[in-house]
Each structure stands twice: as C-alpha cells, then as structure tokens.
Structure 1
Amino acid sequence: MSNPVYGKKAAESRNREKLPAALLLLIIGLIAFLVWAPFQAGVFNGLVLEFEQPIYWSVIIGSVLLLIWATAFFKNIKLEDQRDWTALFVLLIPITYIIALISAASQYFASNMVLIQALYAFMFVIGLYLLQNRKANRVMETTLITVAYIIVMFGLFNWLGQGRTVSAIVSWFSGTVVNGQYTQAVWIDANGPRLASVFQYPNTYAAFLMAFFFVAVFGITRSKKWYGQAIHAFMLVPIVLSLLLTLSRGGLVFLPVVFVVLLLFLKPAKQILWILYSVIAGGATLVVAKPVTNLGQQFYLGQINDPAKGWFYVLGASLVLAVLAWLIQQFVAPRLENGTSKWSAKKLANLWLPLVSVVAVGVLAFLFLGTNLKHILPGNIGDRLENLNLQQHSFLERMTFYKDAVKVLKDYPIIGAGGGGWASIFEKYQNNPYTSRQAHSFVMQYLVETGLLGFIVLLAFLFFIFYKYIRGYINAGEQERESYFGYFIIVFSLLMHSLMDFNMSYVYIGMLVFLGLAGMAAAMDNRPVAKLKLKPSTMRGLYSAVMVLASVILIFVSIRYIGASQDVVKAKKLITTSTDFQEIKTPLDKALSKRGGHPDAVLYMSSLLQAGFDQTQDESFYNAELNLLTNALKKEAFDKNMYKQLIKLYQSKGENGKAYAILRDNANRYTYDMDWYEQLIVQSYELGYQALGEQDIAKKDEYFKSGLAAYQHVIQGVEHLKTLPEGQLQGDPFEITQPMVLNAGKMAYMLNDSAKAAEIFKVGIKDDLNDDTNHEIALWYLAALQKNGTTDQALYDRLLQVDPNEKEEIDKISKLNF
C-alpha cells in the first residue's frame, strides 16, 4: 500500500500547495515557542518557586497553538488510519497522570505534571499533522537545529567569560538571568567548572549535545548545498568541545552506543562518512580542548583570561572542519557512493561497519581509560574518565535510586504515586541519606509516578511509533528517509541518555522528544483501521471538541496558577522589605484563594500567622494557622516543612504532646533525618518524665518505649551505612548525637534497665567533660554502672576533678528506683 508521506505524488502535491493563513500562523507561533522555551527555567523539581511560571506559560502557549491547529487542520482530522489514531492514543498519557491524582503523594506536584504531560500531548498532535506538510517540516527541522546551535554558542560564550554579554540579549524574555548573568550556565562543583548552558545541569546538556552532534553529522551528509554542509560541519567542534566541558561521563558512555545504533540505519557509504566526520571532529576538538578548558577554568577561578584567544582556537578549528567537509562532500562522497554500490546491494551490508565500530569503540575506551592517552585530554576530563567504573560513587548512587524506586512501586503498583511522587516521598524509602529529588532515570521515575498502568501505556505508545517508523524507513526511498530521520536521531538519543538521568524532567527536552515522536509518526508506514459506526465528520467533531475544550481548560487553570505564583513571589519580596502584617498577608490570601494547597503560600502564611501569635498570644492567629496547616497536609501529606511548622505551632502554645505525636507518627517518612529523630527522642524523654512526675506509669512507659525505639532505629541506620560499598557516598550526616544518648540512656534507666542504660551512655562518653551534655552523660553512665555493681575508675576520677560534688549525685541517682 502506498504511504501518504513517502509516496512521490503526495510529496510533489504538498510541495506545490500554498500554506493557508492558519497554518502559517501555527508555524510562526511554534517557532517562537521553540526559541523562547529553552531559555526559561525548565526543570520540574517541585521546590523552586521561580520555575513555576515559565512552565504555566508554556502550557498556555501550547494550548493556544492547539486552538490554532484545530482551525488549520479541522478537515484533516479523520481518524481513519493508524497515524490519525496515534493522535488519540497520545491523550492516554496525560490521562494516566490524571488517574494518578487519586493516590498522589502531593496534589501540588501531581497537578503540575498533569499540565506538563498535556503540553507534551498537544505538541505531539500539532507536530503529527504539521510535519506531514513538506514545507512545514523543512521549516520546523531548520528551527530545531538553529535553536540547538544557538544554545551551543550561548554555552561557549558563558564558558569563555562573556556570559554577561549574551545574557543581556536573552534577559528581556528570560527570568533565568539574575544580576546580569544566566543562572548556572556554568556549574561549579567538586570537579570544578562544568558547562551547562541553558539547562543548568551538565548531564542533560550532554544528552542534548549528543543528539545534535548526530543531527549535525546527518546534516552534512544530507545537504546538497555547500553552505548547508559547511554550517553543520562548522558546529561539530563547538558541540564536541561543549560535550567534553560538561564533564558528563554518561554522555561519553552513551555517545558510542547511540552512534553504533544509528549506523545501522545508513548505507555503507553514509556509514563511512559518519565515521570519518566523527573522527575528524574528535581529533580537531582534542587539539583545542586543553587551551579552551584552561581559559574557562581560569575565568571561574577569578583569574584574568583572554576570550579572544579561546575563540581563535574554536573558530579556527571549526573553519578548518567546514572546509574539509565541503571538500569531502564535493569529491569523496560521490566516489564512496559509487565504490560501495555493490557492497550496499549485498544482504546485511549495513551491519559490517557497525560491528567494526563496536570493536573500535572498545579499543578507544581501553586506550583512554587504561593508558596514558587520557593525558591528551584536559586534566579534569581525564580525571573523570579515569574514575569511570562500576564502583564509582555516581554509578552506585544511581543503582541505589533505582532500588529505592522499586520499593516505592511496591507500595504504589498500579496507578503510581502521582506526578512528582519521587520528590515527595523518596525520604521514606531511601537506602541512605541522599538528597536527590530526581530518580536519575526517566524509566524509574515514570514508574513511580504513574505505576504499571501509566508505564504500559507509555511503552505501548513508544513501541508502536518506533516499530511503524522503522518499518516505513526500511521500505522508503533515500530522499523520503532523510526527511524525517533527524527526528528519530533526537528522540532516540535523548531517551537513551534518559535511561540513567532525569533529562525528561526538563520541559523543553520533553517537548523535543514529543515533537520528534510526532515527526516519526508523520512518516511511519501507515495503514487504515477498521471503520467505526460513527461517521468521519462526527468523529472529527468529537475529537476537535475534546481538544479545544481541554486547551481552554488548561489555559484558564494555568492563568490561575500563574496568578497564585505571582502573589507568592510578591509576598516573598514583601517579607524582606515590609513589617506591615496586612500588606504581606494580602497577596498570600489571594494566592491561597487561587490555589489552596500551594506549598510556598502555605509556609509563608504559616510563618506570618506564627509571628502574630508569638507577639500577641491571640487565639485567632493560632486557630487560623492550625486550620491552614491541617488542611494543606491533607493534600501534601509528605511535606516535611509543613509538619515542622505544625510542630512549632503546638510547641509555642505548650501543646508538647501534640508536637510529639507529629514527630512519632511521621518518623517513618523521614528515615534518615537525624534532626527529626533527635527531636523525637528528646520529646519522648521530656513527656515521659512529666508523666512520671504525675504518677502515670503507663503513659511514662509508652513515651519511653517509643523514644528508645527511635534510638534503636538510629543505631540500625548507622550500622547499615557502614555496609555501603566503599565508593558510595553516604550523603547527609546520620549519626548518634549526644542529646540522643543522654535522653535515650535516661529513658532506659527510668525503665529500670540500668544495664541497657549503661550501654547507651557509654556511646556518648567524650574527653571534654566540661561540656554540659558530655558531663551529664558521664554522670549517668557512672550511676548506671554503680547500680550494676561495677565502675569505670578512670572516668570517675576525671569527673570528680571537674566537680567533686558529683560523688553524691552519682550515689543519689544509683539509688533511684522507678
């Protein structure tokens, strides 16, 4: 059966047709969106207030574009073939996120993710129909590549110390420029400066660079014009150089994997050209990598550098590569095509070079990892490669995240923990006290958020599109293959890298993937589906109505959320500049009226009401704050900061029993929060001691036993952390503190278990007995020993040197009977 996209007559017909006004408006809007989006703060980590508004604006823009799409393509919506039905299938993805709201760990995070997934679905639907038009496809492909090249150059400007110059250009439409500098365009961590460009995360930038490196190589071999070949070739060195500057080991690991797979789609002549350009680009980059790396490091270490010198290296190598690519395409490529024609005709001819490439990659990996060849790389890049192994902390930590994600899945197996579920509840399931609010794997995070239902839907969607695209690609001609292969490169590259990182948490990356999937679906081997009883016009009307209604709803919801976010931001600024209670409260009231469970609004309002109660002891402040927090926690049941505010509120009124109940009932949600367990142990002792004074022995025992259980949890946690692999970092501190020892030991002693008490107190014995806590621990330890008929004479003598009167106190405590 003929393919509507790949068919020759259809292609010629689309090439002659003029673009209608609505279609032209859709293309212009989508281009503007794709230029604007990457320069916004696009990561969804659930805690940064400043990231909210760009996401909501993206949803509004996507919804408006969908309304324009409905006008431009109304007559084209027939839902008669498989391609059209993918436009219906994609709606199941946001629907699974809507279903996950039922069991969502955070309604706030989950509702945000519903909006984002709806945006992705809209981008797919728009792209599916738009990219079937030959002219529109060419424009959109050019736009994506142009934006990618701008992002690459933007990153290098920042690396070479000219960030303020380029940041000034984008500052008028990007809120990510702060004090004249694009935030975290260059990361600084233990490895030194790392290039992140617009993504604020080097590993995601590496995934992006990997995708567009292959797009650039493809562009060289595809372009018929000399200037097209030169432009793509010119960008190879900046892309490879930027990839090295990210210091992303994942990028360097996945690059050859993706490269080998992509080679399988090419004829031998093209395979040779891809390998040739990759080798030349890699060699040219290595020539300039050290001086350019050093210049960037000097700038970020506060030293004077010379940007012109850096650009001389980059532009010089790029120009050489551009000239070489033109010469190769002009004189070598035609001869390769002719010389390999017999080879290409053989069965499985395209398998040989990929197999050779696997061997070559293995040899290069050995040389760079196992020999002194790594010293040709800049020092920090060589060091990162040298540490690349399965016992390295980054790999071990990722494996821990994945194991912990499986624990979450066991508790939320069918519909998941909702969007942002990992960020909400990872502390409950964590193996050690890390602080990652991302699971560092798109697959694992998706499973956590939508459960098996959502994951199966996504997997089926991806499998169907990949299967149909590859089948169509095999049966298509050379020119038809090249029209949509760029989208396959982008999608495959980004999804492969996302197996071990959170690239899909970036809204812009998600948009790229779904637009790429739309491009693949637009070109897939297409077949009609069984006709339904409903007329095509009825189906078209129903589908269009649903899409229009959904876009209108999302526009209004997003506008409301933007208003709430703006009010919170206003209140946040007023807190630092104003002392007027009502002035600060007014925008918070507005925010909460628009979005009642907004965590930042709740916390700021809670702090404001707390201050009012502390100053006036007016019960109305207390009741208002109590209602605010208890209602918010019904939607945000894992929000630790809200619990802390509630604890503080109870304690400010002397309701320590209620504060203790919060600590006790939620301790299992914060497995490795050392401060939480210290508070719980201290509160258990104080309330138990109070119950003892009131002769309520049952209550005393209840408090003391819960406190000792908390102490035992800490001991077990500390012992477990000793079993972590040698290369794995523990994360945040988690240890037995002196207040834990003192209060747990007292509780054991007052439960008439002096032997257990002595065992606990012994853990806290320190050299400095002038410290009040250390002194008291030693005092009670000696009393517990004396009660058991033993002593520690050396410690006893040291304590009496500090305070001779403690002899009587030891005797007194040892004779106590509870």
Structure 2
Amino acid sequence: MSNPVYGKKAAQSRKGRNLSAAVWVLLVGLILFLVWSPFQAGLFNGLVLNFEKPILWAVLIGSLLMIVWVCSYFKTMKLDDQRDWTAVAILFIPITYMLALISAASHYFAVNAVLIQFLYAFMFIIALYLLQNRQANTAIETSIITVAYIIVMFGLFNWLGQGRTVSAIVGWFTPTVFDGQYNQAIWIDANGPRLASVFQYPNTYAAFLMAFLFVAIFAITRSKRWWVQAIHAFMLVPMALSILLTLSRGGLVFLPVVFIILLLFLKPAKQLLWILYCIIAGLGTLLIAKPVTDLGQQFHNGQINDPAKGWFYILAASIILAVIACLIQRFIAPVLDRATDKWASKKLGNLWLPVGSVVAVAVIVALLLGTNLKHVLPGNIGERLENINLQQHSVLERFTFYKDAVKVLKDYPVIGAGGGSWASIYEKYQNNPYTSRQAHSFIMQYLVEVGILGFIIMLGFLLFVFYKYIRGYIRSEEQKRDSYFIYFIIVFSILIHSLMDFNMSYVFIGVLVFIGLGGMAATMDNRSTDRVKLKASSMRGIYSTVMVLASIFLIFTSIRYIQANNAIVKGQTLMQTSGDYREIKAPLDDALKKRSGHPNAVLNMSVLLQAGYEQTKEEAFYNEEYNLLTNALKKEPYDKNMYAKLMALYKLKGETDKAYDVLKDNAGRYAWDMNWYEELIAQSFELGYQALGSQDVALKDKYFHDGLIAYHHVVDGVEHLKTLPEGQMQGNPFEVTPTMSLNAGKMQFMLGQPEAAAPILKAGIKEDLGDSTSQEIARWYLAALEKSGQSDQVVYDKLIQIDPSMKEQISQLAAIF
C-alpha cells in the first residue's frame, strides 16, 4: 500500500488540492485557538476557580471546531483504513476518564478531566485529517512555531523588567494579567527569580523551550530559503538563554538525552549540523548569560536595571548567530552532504555521532560539575548545576510522590480514582507532610487517575502512533520525512520531560502533544482494515453522528459551567460589597443550579447560610446548610474545607459530639495535618472531661482513648520523619505541640496512669515557663510525678518561683485524680 503522505503520488495530489471553505474555517479557528490558549496561563489544569473558566472556554472552542471538522470531512471519511480507525481509537482515552467517574475521589475534578480529555481527542482527530493537506500542514506548523517564538520573547521582556509593556498587549484577552502585570511570568522562590513566561512554572517552560530549540535547529537545516534560516537561527540564543533562566535542573538533564535520541533520526550530514548549531548557540548564550541574568535579577530584587543593555546583548548575539547560520547553510551544509555520502550509506552509519555525543555530553557534564568551568555561568545557574544528583531534595521528593502514587493505585487499581484525584486524595497516602497537588510525573498521575485499564489504553495508543510514524519515517524519502518531523520533536521532547514533571497538566501543552500525535498519525499508511465489513457510508454516518452529538453535549455543558463560574465570581464579589442576603444568595443559587456540588459555590453558600443561622438561629438556615454540605461531601469526600464548615455548623448548634465525629472519622484522610490532630486531641479531652463530669465513665474512657490514639499517631509520625533521607525536606511542620502534650498528658493522668502521663507532659515543657500553657503543663507534670512517687526539683523550683500557689494546686491535682 502506498503511504498517503510519504507516497509520491499521494503527496503530489494533495499538493494541488485546494482547501474547501469549511476546512479554511477549521484551519483559521485552530490557529486562533493556538494563539489564544497559552496566554491563559497555559490553560493550567490547576482545577481551581481561577483556572477553570479558560479551560471551559477551550473545551467550548474545541467542540465547535469538531463540528466544523465533521462538516469538512464527512464526505471524504470512510473508516476503512488505519488512519480512520485511529480517529476512533482515540475516543477510548476520554471514555476511560468517564469510567473513572464511578470511583472518583472528587466528582468536580473528574468531570473537568473528562471535558479536557475530550478536547485532546478532538484536537487529535482534527490534526489527523487536517495535516494530511500540505497547505494546512504548513499553516499549522508555522503557527505553532510562531506562537512558541512569541512566548519566548514575551518571557524575556518580563525578565528584563518590561512585563507591563507586553502584558498590556495581551491583557485584553487574558485574565492572567493582574494590576497590569502578567501573573508569575517570573517565578520567585528560594533560588531567586526564575523565568516562567506564560506557564507560571519554570520547569514546564523549560520542557517547552527544549522542544522548540530542537524544532528551530531542524527548521534551519530543512529550509532552502535564507531568510527562513535566519529567523529560526535568530531564536536559538533567546531559547537557550531562557532555558538557563528557568533554573530547571530537569530541563538541563533531559535536554542532552532528547538531543542524542533525535540525532538517531538524521543522516550524518544533518547530525553534524545539529551538533554545530548547538555548540554555536551554546557559546553565544554563555557569552551573554551573566550580564542578562544579572540585569533581570537586579530588576526583580527591586534595583534599577537597564533593559536596553540586556536587549543589546540578546539581539547582537542572535543577529550574529543568524548570519553564521545562513553562511553555514549556504557554504558548509552542501559540502557536508557530499562528504558524508559514503558514510550515510554504510550500515548503522547514523549511530556513530549519537554514540560520540554521549561521550561528549559525559565529558561536558564532568567538567561542569567537577571543575571551575561552572563559574562561567551566572552564580545561581552554576549552583543549580552543582546540585544535580540523586540525593538532591527535589529528586527525593519526586520519588516519594511516585511511591505514594503506587499506594493510591493499590486502592484504585482498575479504573483509578478519577481525573484530578491526586489533588484531592494525596494527603491520605503521603509519606511525609509535603504539599503537592501534582504527582510530578505524567505516568504516575495517569495511573492514579484512570488505573491500569486506562493506562494500558493510553500507552497502547501512544506506542501504536509512534510505531507507525517511525516505520513510515524509515521507509520514506528525506523530503517527505521533513514534512512532519517537527511534530515528532514536540511530542517526544515534552513526553520525555513529563516523566518527571506535570507538563501535561497544562492544557495548552496537552493540546500541542495531541496535535503533534495527530501530525504523526497523518503520515500513517492507508492500509485497508479488511476485517471491518460494514458499509463505509453507514460507518461514516454513525461516527459523524456520535462526534456531533458529543460536541453539542460538550458545548452546552461548557456554556452551563461557564455561567456557573461567572455566578460564583459574582456572588464572591457581592459578599465583599453588599449586605443584602437575597442579592448575594441569588447568583450562588444559580451557580449550584447549573453545577450542583461545585466546591467554590458550596463553600461560599455555606458561609452565607452559616452567618444567617448565627444571627437568627432559624432552623431553616441550619437545615439548608446541613443538606448543602452533606450532599456535596458525597461527591467531594476529601474536601477539607467542607468538613471544616460542617464542624463549625454543628458547634454553632451545640452539637459538639457530631463535630467531633467528623473530626475523628476523617483524621485518616489528613494523616499529616498537625492542626487537625491538635484539634482532635483537644476535643477528645474536652468531651471526655464533660463525660467525667456527667459520671459517664465509659464515654469518658472512649474519648480519652481516641485522643491518645491520635496523640501517638503524631508521635509515631515525628519518629518516621527522622528516617527521611538526609537531603529530603519533610514539608509542612509536623510535631508534638505543647497543647497536644498537655491534653494527652491530662487524659493519660485521668485514666489513672500517672506514670505514663509524666513523660508525655515532660515532652511539652519548655525551658522558659513564662506562658500559661507551659505553666499548666508543668503543674500536671509535677502532679503526675507526685502521684507516681517521683519528683523533678528543677521544674518544681522554676514553677514555684513564678507562682508559689502552684504548690497547693499540684497537691490537689495529685489527690483528686
């Protein structure tokens, strides 16, 4: 069978084929979508209110484009070859997310994920058919590269202190511009300022830059026009420099790996050109890296800088590199082609340079890490390089995330815990009290979300597309290979980096990957699937109907959810500006009507209803809030904020036992939340003490035993944290607080075990007994010692010196209990 893209006859026919009006609409719509989407913070799937609306708009736009696609390709689609059936197979990916709704840890997150996966499927299908046309392929490829270059320059403008200027240009169509500044285009952390551009996360930006750095190098070597070569060469230094400014260790580690693997797909002449351009771009970048880095750091540290000076360095290096590239392509590239002809014809001839590159990379890494060569880089970049090792805290933390993800998978093995579940469920399974709403690995997060079944389907789909692409690539001529290799570069680079980061949580990145997969699949041979005996017209009709109905459903769902989002925002605004209960409640009611159980709507309505009950004590307010929260928690069983609202409601009505049950029953879901356990231990004592006052000894013992179990959970957790590897940070604070020691010690004492209470209380005693809590702990501690026939003269003298009356109080405690 001939290849529809790589085959000579088919390629010629498509070259002369004009695009229909519907296809033009589809093409323009997709291009506009690609321009719009990255400036919505990369459409980050953070699954919170601020990020939700742009994602819903993306789903809406993607669904509209899908309907246009059906109109464009209904007559030409036959569903009788492998490409057509690949367009069917992609639908199994969102279907696995629909199945995961059954066991979803968060219905809200899982539904959003279903919408996103359908968007990805639509992008793949559109690209699969659209990119088979040479005109459309050229337009989409050019648009993707242009958008990438705009993102790079946007980031550098922000780095050099001109963020307000470029933010004003994009501010009219993105909600990510706050107070005239694109939010977190420069990420500030313990390492100082880090470049993040539109993604608000440096590591994902590094993955994006890595992909398009190689795209630019490939575009230089492919193009025959000098001005096209100059444009791509001009961008090499800005992209290489931006990679350094992200301070992403993952980007620096994966960059040579991806580079070497990509070399395997090139003939020796182009391998040499790639290596040459990387060396030239690297040298040009190193020459300007320090002054440009210093200028950016000065600005973001509140000092006066000179952006014109920074741009002079960048533009000068870029222009020089562009000129050099044009000269290389004009004079050196042809010579290399002729000189390596025999080399290229030899078996495994294209392996020599990649193998040599491995050795060269190893030498460079050794020099950078083991010598003073790293000092040619700006200080913080050199320090980041120096800290690359398997014992570095970010590596250790990622391994911990992966181990914890396996724990989740054991509980949700087949269909997973639902889309976005890691953000909801990780606190139950975490090894230590870190905060990470992302698993920092596409594979591990995917396993958590859709289980082994969904992962096998996704992996099988990816392997099939890669296999068919590589098989077609090997069999085709060089000119035909070049038409779609850019998509392979993008997909491969991003997926490789995503092994250890959450790049695919950015919907724009996901869209790029699935468009890229569609471009790779567009090269697939058109071998007929003879086993499918159904009529082409029938299959076409069924498939088109399904896609139109799915698109219409997603359009109306997206619109409804966007309206709910708008209503929530309106309600939140009115809560700050209005005192009219009905005016505030109306938009929140509307939001819950359009999307019941939306966490933000539920929490805001809960605040409103709780205030009403607190002021009036009317049962209607209580009942409405109670029903609201309990129903919402059926869909969001891990939402800590909802549990907090429910406990507060119980306490308002004096139902402290019910509030306690919520606290105790859900403690296992927040195993490393120190505040949760401190409250649980305190409430165990209070309720147990009340039961003691009511002469209910059995109930007292129950509360006290529960409280002590919680206390020992904290003690065991503190001991566990001591076993963490030396380089790993524990995360949030987790310790036995003085309040925990006091309440646990009192419970142990009142259970008639003063000898066990003494060490618990002693652990909470501070050197300085100046505050009331410390004095109370000391008093109970000394009473426990006295009761068990022991003493601590040092603590006793300190306490009596502060308050002599404590002597009598200690004796009374020892006598009473």
Q: Return the TM-score normalized by structure 1.
A: 0.99
Listed as ranges, the gaps of 5+ residues in structure 1 are none
User: Distance in 2 between the 1:166 and 1:808 partners?
Assistant: 73
SS of the aligned residue for 2:12 comes to helix
Aligned equivalent of 1:286: 286
Distance 1:406 1:44 in 2: 25
Q: What is the CA–CA distance in structure 2 between the aligned matches of 1:526 and 1:265, rounded to whole Å?
A: 23
Structure 2 counterpart of 1:664 = 664
1:446–1:455 contact (8 Å) kept in structure 2: yes
Q: Which residue of 2 aligns with 1:68?
A: 68
Q: How does 1:66-465 map to 2 (within 5 A)?
A: 66-465=66-465
The match for 1:565 is 565
Q: Tell me the distance in 2 between the aligned counterparts of 1:510 and 1:696.
A: 60
Structure 1 equivalent of residue 30 of structure 2 = 30
> Would you say how many aligned residue pairs link Structure 1 and Structure 2?
817
Structure 2 residue identity aligned to 1:504: M
Partners of 1:43 and 1:459 in 2: how far apart?
24
Give 1:618 deviation, angstroms.
1.6
Quote how far apart the aligned CAs of 1:640 are: 0.3
Q: Distance in 2 between matches of 1:553 and 1:642?
A: 30
**Partner Cα distance (2:285, 2:41) in 1:** 30
C-alpha spacing 1:47/1:456, structure 2 compared with 1 (3 Å): closer
Distance (Å, rounded) in 1 between the aligned partners of 2:146 and 2:612 = 55
SS in 2 for 1:75: coil
**Post-superposition shift, 1:49?**
1.1
Match of 2:770 in 1: 770
Do structure 1's residue 703 and structure 2's residue 699 form an aligned pair? no
> Which position in structure 1 is the counterpart of 2:52?
52
Amino acid at match of 2:336: L
Q: Letter of the aligned partner of 1:483 in structure 2?
A: S
The alpha carbon displacement at 1:77 in A equals: 1.5
Whole-angstrom CA distance in 1 between matches of 2:457 and 2:287: 47
1:704 alignment partner AA: F
Matched residues in 1 for 2:427 and 2:31: separation?
41
Q: Which residue of the partner structure matches residue 735 of structure 2?
A: 735
Paired with 1:593 and 1:398, the residues of 2 have a C-alpha distance of 40
Segments of 4+ moved more than 3 angstroms: 42-47
Give the structure 2 partner of residue 805 of structure 1: 805
Give the letter aligned to residue 349 of structure 2: A
Report the CA distance between 1:75 and its aligned residue: 1.4
Give the C-alpha shift of residue 335 in structure 1: 0.6
Match of 1:615 in 2: 615
Q: Is the partner of 2:75 in helix, strand or coil?
A: helix
Q: Residue type matched to 2:229 in 1?
A: Q
User: Alignment partner of 1:76: what SS?
Assistant: coil
Take 1:232 and 1:44, find their aligned partners in 2: how far apart are those partners?
28
How far 1:624 moved relative to its partner?
1.1
The answer as to 2:687 corresponding to 1:676 is no
Do the aligned partners of 1:473 and 1:524 also contact (CA within 8 Å) in 2?
A: no
| SS in structure 2 of the partner of residue 188 of structure 1 | strand
Distance 1:97 1:207 in 2: 26
- Structure 1 residues 583-612: Cα deviation after superposition (integer angstroms, max 9, x where no partner): 211110110111111101100110111111
Larger deviation: 796-805 or 186-195?
796-805
Structure 1 residue 274, shift from structure 2 partner: 0.3
CA contact (8 A) 1:45 1:423 kept: no
Corresponding letter in the other structure for 1:7: G
Aligned identity (percent) is 71
Structure 2: distance between partners of 1:534 and 1:644: 57
Deviation at 1:730, TM superposition (A): 1.1
Q: Secondary structure at the match of 1:566?
A: helix
> How many Å apart are 1:214 and its aligned residue?
0.3
**CA separation in 2, counterparts of 1:656 and 1:102?**
33
Q: Give the letter for the 1:29 counterpart.
A: G
Which residue identity is paired with 1:544? S
Q: Hey, what's the Cα distance between the residues in 2 that align with 1:525 and 1:691?
A: 77
Whether the 8 Å contact between 2:44 and 2:199 is mirrored in structure 1 is no
Query: Equivalents in 2 of 1:589, 1:46: separation in Å?
Result: 25
CA distance in 1, matches of 2:344, 2:386: 39
CA distance in 1, matches of 2:744, 2:580: 44
Looking at structure 2, the residues matched to 152 and 47 of structure 1 have their Cα atoms a distance apart, in angstroms, of 26
Q: Match for 2:485: what amino acid? A: F
Q: Given residue 381 of structure 2, which amino acid in structure 1 is its aligned partner?
A: I
Deviates more, 1:4-13 or 1:64-73: 4-13
In 2, the alpha carbon distance for the partners of 1:797 and 1:420 equals 57
The CA deviation at 1:800 is: 1.4
Instruction: Name the CA distance, whole Å, in 1 between partners of 2:60 and 2:501.
Output: 28
Tell me the CA shift for residue 452 of structure 1: 0.2
The separation in 2 between residues aligned to 1:677 and 1:159, in whole angstroms, is 43
1:79 CA drift (Å): 1.2
Moved more, 709-718 or 760-769: 760-769
Q: Deviations over 1:115-149 (max 9, x none)?
A: 00000000000000000011111111111001100
Q: Secondary structure at the match of 2:343?
A: helix
Do 2:264 and 2:350's aligned partners in 1 also have CA atoms closer than 8 Å?
yes
Task: Assess if the C-alpha contact under 8 Å between 2:674 and 2:735 holds in 1.
Answer: yes
Is contact 1:470-1:524 (8 Å) kept? no
Q: If the length of structure 2 is used for normalisation, what is the TM-score? A: 0.99
Per-residue CA deviation, residues 693-742 of structure 1 (Å, 9 max, x unaligned), is: 11111111111000000000000001111111111111110111111111
Q: Equivalents in 2 of 1:463, 1:226: separation in Å?
A: 37
Following the alignment from structure 2 to structure 1, what is the Cα–Cα distance between the partners of residues 633 and 48?
Answer: 19
Contact 2:680–2:707, Cα closer than 8 Å, also in 1: yes
CA offsets 1:303-349 (integer angstroms, 9 cap, x no match): 11111111100000000000000000000000100000000000000
Query: Cα offset for 1:48?
Result: 2.8
The answer to whether the 8 Å contact 1:235/1:318 transfers is: yes
DSSP 3-state at the match of 2:41: coil
Q: Distance in 1 between matches of 2:150 and 2:806?
A: 74
Show the 5 A alignment for 1:593-612. Answer: 593-612=593-612
The residue that corresponds to 1:6 in the other structure is 6
Cα distance, 1:799 vs structure 2: 1.3
Report which stretch shifted further, 71-80 or 462-471: 71-80
Q: CA deviation at 1:44?
A: 4.4
Unaligned runs of 5+ in 2: none
Query: Is the partner of 1:193 in helix, strand or coil?
Result: strand
Q: How many angstroms does 1:533 deviate by? A: 3.3
Instruction: Tell me the secondary structure at the aligned position of residue 354 of structure 1.
Output: helix
Residue by residue, what CA displacement relative to the aligned partner does 1:754-786 show, whole Å, maximum 9, x if unpaired? Answer: 111111111011123231111111111111111
User: What is aligned with 1:646?
Assistant: 646
Aligned residue in 2 for 1:485 = 485
Q: Quick one: distance in 1 between partners of 2:481 and 2:340?
A: 19
Q: Could you say which residue in structure 2 is the equivalent of 1:627?
A: 627
CA distance in 2 between counterparts of 1:572 and 1:397 reads 36
Tell me how far apart the structure 2 counterparts of residues 373 and 151 of structure 1 sit (CA, whole Å). 31
What displacement does 1:455 show? 0.3
Question: What is the alpha-carbon distance in structure 1 between the residues aligned to residue 4 and residue 769 of structure 2?
Answer: 85
Distance 1:615 1:201 in 2: 44
Residue aligning to 1:752: 752
Q: CA deviation at 1:47?
A: 5.0
Preserved contact between residue 155 and residue 197 of structure 1 (Cα < 8 Å) = yes
Alpha-carbon distance in structure 1 between the residues aligned to 2:571 and 2:35: 31
- Please state whether the residue corresponding to 1:815 is helix, strand or coil: helix
Residue 43 of structure 1, CA deviation: 4.9
The whole-number CA distance in structure 2 between the counterparts of 1:44 and 1:783 is 57
The Cα shift of 1:527 comes to: 2.1
What secondary structure sits across from 2:355 in the alignment? helix
Matches within 5 A, 1:773-792: 773-792=773-792
Instruction: Please identify, of 73-82 and 339-348, the stretch whose mean Cα deviation from structure 2 is larger.
Output: 73-82
**Residue 791 (structure 1) shift:** 0.6
Identify if the C-alpha distance between structure 1 residues 44 and 425 changes in structure 2 by more than 3 Å, giving closer, same or farther.
Answer: farther
Aligned-residue offset at 1:46:
4.3
Aligned partner of 1:553 in structure 2 is: 553
AA in 1 matched with 2:724: L
Within 2, Cα distance between the matches of 1:292 and 1:525? 48
Deviation at 1:692, TM superposition (A): 1.0
